[in-house]
Amino acid sequence: MKAAFDAFRSLGHPATRGRGEILRILAESVIPLSPREIRERIPDPKPDASTVYRNLTLMVSLGLVRSVALHERSRRYETATDGTHRHSVVCRRCGRIESFQPKKCDLSRIESDIRGTLGFDVTDHSLEFFGSCADCEGKRGRR
């Protein structure tokens, strides 16, 4: 967890326990977490919820964390420090979430088309999949 602290210091922000905990929790999770879930996993004494929000915002702007939108009421966050990029798969029936690293995520063609037609310089994208997980799939029709 030393690395987490250095990440903040080297970017000119004090390293606090809460910040370290948030990064640790996100690094340990295999799926993106909501601010509430993150806070619940921090051992007591927990930081105030507002602190968690403020830190997540900061971390996103520093590029340490990425926000993910899974069509829920709140946003989720995932670690971005490992340079990887994950996509989430959400079950529309039970809400189960899984994340995976794409073998190759080649959207560069689309991104260059966007630059050409809309003049946007695309820096990143967000891709989520929705459907039914294996369990719910098996139960289909049994309602």
Partner DNA sequence: TCCTTAGATGCAAATATATTGCATTCGCAA
Partner DNA sequence: TTGCGAATGCAATATATTTGCATCTAAGGA
Residue 3: name its binding partner from a second copy, DNA, none (Cβ under 5 to 8 Å by kind).
none
Q: Which is nearer to a second copy, 13 or 75 (CB)?
A: 75
Cβ proximity of 87 and 128 under 8 Å: yes
What is the rounded CA–CA span in Å between residue 138 and residue 30?
Answer: 24
Residue 71 in contact with residue 127, Cβ under 8 Å?
A: no
Cα–Cα distance, 55 to 25 (Å, whole number): 13
92 touches DNA by CB under 7 A: no
Minimum distance from CB of 8 to a second copy (Å)?
22
Closest C-alpha to 81, from 9, 1, 4, 21: 4
> What is the C-alpha separation between 29 and 76, in angstroms, rounded?
12
The answer to whether 57 and 65 are in contact (CB under 8 A) is: no
Q: Which does 85 bind (CB under 5 to 8 A by kind): DNA, a second copy, none?
A: none
Q: Taking contact as CB under 7 A, which single stretch among the options 67-75, 78-86, 87-95, 114-122 is the one that binds DNA? A: 67-75
Sites of contact with a second copy (CB under 8 A): 67, 69-71, 75, 87, 89, 91-92, 98, 100, 102-103, 107, 110-111, 113-114, 117-134, 137
Sites of contact with DNA (CB under 7 A): 5, 8-9, 13-19, 34-36, 45-51, 53-55, 57-58, 73-75
